[in-house]
Amino acid sequence: MTVELVDEDGAGALPLYFVGKDRLAEIGLDAAALEWAAANGFSGEAGRLLPVPGPGGAISAALFGTGDEARTGLAAGALGRSLPQGAWKLANAGEPAQAALGIMLGNYVFTRYGKKPGRDLRLALPAGVDRDRLRAAADAVRLVRDLVNTPTADMGPAALEEAVRRLAGTHGASVSSIAGDDLLAANFPMIHAVGRASAEAPRLIDMGWGDPGAPKVTLVGKGVCFDTGGLDIKPSSGMLLMKKDMGGAANVLGLASMIMAAKLAVRLRVLVPAVENSIAGNAFRPGDVLASRKGITVEIGNTDAEGRLVLGDALALADEEAPDLLIDMATLTGAARVALGPDLPPFYTDDDGFADELARSAEAVEDPVWRMPLWKPYEARLASKIADTNNVTTDGFAGSVTAALFLKKFVDRARSWAHFDIFAWVPVEKPHAPVGGEAQAIRALEHLLDRRYGRA
User: In this predicted model, what pLDDT tens digit does every residue of 172-202 receive, in sequence order?
Assistant: 999 999 999 999 999 999 999 999 999 999 9
**What span, in angstroms and rounded, lies between the C-alpha atoms of 282 and 193?**
9
123 and 189 together in one domain = no
83 and 227 together in one domain = no
Q: Which amino acid is at 408?
A: K
**What span, in angstroms and rounded, lies between the C-alpha atoms of 404 and 358?**
18
Question: Which pLDDT score is estimated for 56?
Answer: 86
Average pLDDT, the chain: 96
* pLDDT over 80 at 209, yes or no: yes
Question: Which pLDDT score is estimated for 69?
Answer: 80
183 and 167 together in one domain = yes
Residue of 277, 351, 274, 348 whose CA lies nearest to 311: 274
235 and 263 together in one domain = yes
Residue of 221, 156, 274, 165 whose CA lies nearest to 442: 221
* pLDDT over 70 at 1, yes or no: no
pLDDT average, residue stretch 385-389: 98
199 and 118 together in one domain = no
Judged on CB neighbours under 10 Å (0-12, 13-18, 19+), 376 is: exposed
321 and 397 together in one domain = yes
pLDDT average, residue stretch 95-118: 92
**What span, in angstroms and rounded, lies between the C-alpha atoms of 109 and 265?**
33
143 and 89 together in one domain = no
CB atoms within 10 A of CB 232: 18
- Alpha carbon 253 to its chain centroid, in Å, reads 9
Largest Cα span, the chain: 82
304 and 399 together in one domain = yes
Residue 16's CATH number = 3.40.220.10
27 and 12 together in one domain = yes
* pLDDT over 80 at 115, yes or no: no
Q: Which phi and psi (to 5°) does residue 367 adopt?
A: -130, 85
Among 101, 129, 157, give the residue marking a domain's end: 129
Residue 326's CATH number = 3.40.630.10
Among 69, 94, 129, give the residue marking a domain's end: 129
Task: Identify the bridge partners of residue 276 per DSSP, sorted by sequence position.
Answer: 226
CB atoms within 10 A of CB 387: 17
pLDDT class of 10 with cuts at 50, 70, 90: low
Number of domains in the chain: 2
* pLDDT over 80 at 103, yes or no: yes
Among 74, 95, 129, give the residue marking a domain's end: 129
15 and 114 together in one domain = yes
User: In this predicted model, what pLDDT tens digit does every residue of 39-96 receive, in sequence order?
Assistant: 999 999 999 999 999 988 899 999 999 998 877 899 999 999 999 998 999 989 889 9
333 and 199 together in one domain = yes
Structural domain boundaries enclosing 328: 136-453
User: In this predicted model, what pLDDT tens digit does every residue of 219-234 receive, in sequence order?
Assistant: 999 999 999 999 999 9
List, by residue number, the catalytic residues. Answer: 234, 308
**What span, in angstroms and rounded, lies between the C-alpha atoms of 339 and 332?**
13
* pLDDT over 90 at 330, yes or no: yes
Question: Which pLDDT score is estimated for 111?
Answer: 92
Residue of 383, 330, 340, 353 whose CA lies nearest to 448: 353
